[in-house]
Amino acid sequence: MEPDELYTLRAQYYLGHYTLSLQEAKATARRPLSNDLKIEREEFQLRSMLALKQFDKVIDSASDISPDAHNNHHLNLISTHPSIHSSTGTKAIGVRAKYDSPSTPEATRADLLSELQALASDPSTTPTAQLIAAQTFLAHGEMTKEALQAVHAGTTMEHLALTVQIYLRMDRLDLAQQSLMKMKQMDEEAVLAQLCHCHIAIYQGSSQALDAVHIVTSLTEQYGSCIMLLNMAAVACMASGQYAEAEVHLMDAMAEDKDDANVDEDSNVDVDTLINLIVCFQHQGKVKDIGLVIDRIKRSHPNHTFVQGLLRVEGAFERESVKYKVAA
């Protein structure tokens, strides 16, 4: 079997080591690769930049990569003769960058979602375009059905991994387990298969949560600590009732986030860490701390589905409370 030249690149990206994945992309650029692997490397490079919130760079780079582009000097890793298939995947990544960019007007995001739907359903689409579309639909918060339609065929390991998350969101543990079984048949030791095993173990509650803790510990020892693994460890601890241990992991994640040169004090703090902190504090009865974190997440991620849902509930409560207000 030929060695997988992009194994480390994929693993670093899946685990949230986006800076390391960019470094690995540079390293693999010097190796002889097939055209398909070159395209995949280019896409992972753009996806890593997107995860680091380098929206303008991704938008510019994705627009440079087109079937008619023959000389692209913006990114030294992008091939100078990209194919139509490369353009489809990178175009979807560029659309996602526009969707996530804080400079994009809210009204424009609906058009971007429609563009992704068209890309995902196009007969000449690629697995990357379908994946990016599905991830964006889930981030939007009200398009779970459309997300599943984009990846339900499970043509790649990443598609199967996303179906696991979608099925768990739909409370279909049986279907999630079927997707995980397919992943393990493809490569039981793959990072994505191990992460999905964690998702399912956590979903099953305290009886299986310790399995997730052990897997996360193993991945951390192999690839190093990162915000995503710290959050997964925290959620696994909460599922098993270990809230103090969960808080330690989340505080470590906050510290890593603060040390990241790409993250400022407030506007780009990891939203998953903040949401998990709210849940952790709630279980520990730390009401004052909950209020502080909620205020912070409202400032830093005002358009996030969690914040929007919270605002709807608060608005409903205020409207109802007026009915029972006692005149002074």
Tell me, what's the pLDDT at 177? 97
Structure confidence at residue 68 as a pLDDT band (50, 70, 90): very low
CA pair distance 96, 93, nearest whole angstrom: 5
Structure confidence at residue 264 as a pLDDT band (50, 70, 90): very low
Tell me, what's the pLDDT at 72? 42
- Please tell me whether residue 12 adopts helix, strand or coil conformation: helix
Q: For the ranges 9-13, 68-72, 309-313, which has the lowest average pLDDT?
A: 68-72
pLDDT of residue 274 exceeding 60? yes
Average pLDDT, the chain: 87
Tell me, what's the pLDDT at 71? 41
pLDDT of residue 238 exceeding 80? yes
pLDDT of residue 18 exceeding 50? yes
Higher local confidence (pLDDT), 120 or 70: 120
Structure confidence at residue 265 as a pLDDT band (50, 70, 90): low
Tell me, what's the pLDDT at 266? 54
- Contact between 256 and 230 under an 8 Å Cβ cutoff? The reply is yes
Percent pLDDT > 70 in the chain is 88
Q: For the ranges 48-62, 72-86, 162-176, 298-312, which has the lowest average pLDDT?
A: 72-86
Tell me, what's the pLDDT at 73? 40
Structure confidence at residue 259 as a pLDDT band (50, 70, 90): low
Among the residues of 52-172, which ranges form H helices?
55-64, 84-100, 106-121, 127-140, 144-151, 157-169
**Per-residue pLDDT tens for 75-132?**
444 444 444 445 789 999 999 999 999 899 988 999 999 999 999 998 889 999 999 9
In this structure, what token pair is assigned to residue 76?
A: 């030294």
Burial 154-181 (b: 16+ CB within 10 A, else e): bebbbbbbbbbbbbbeeeeeebbbbbbe
Higher local confidence (pLDDT), 74 or 182: 182
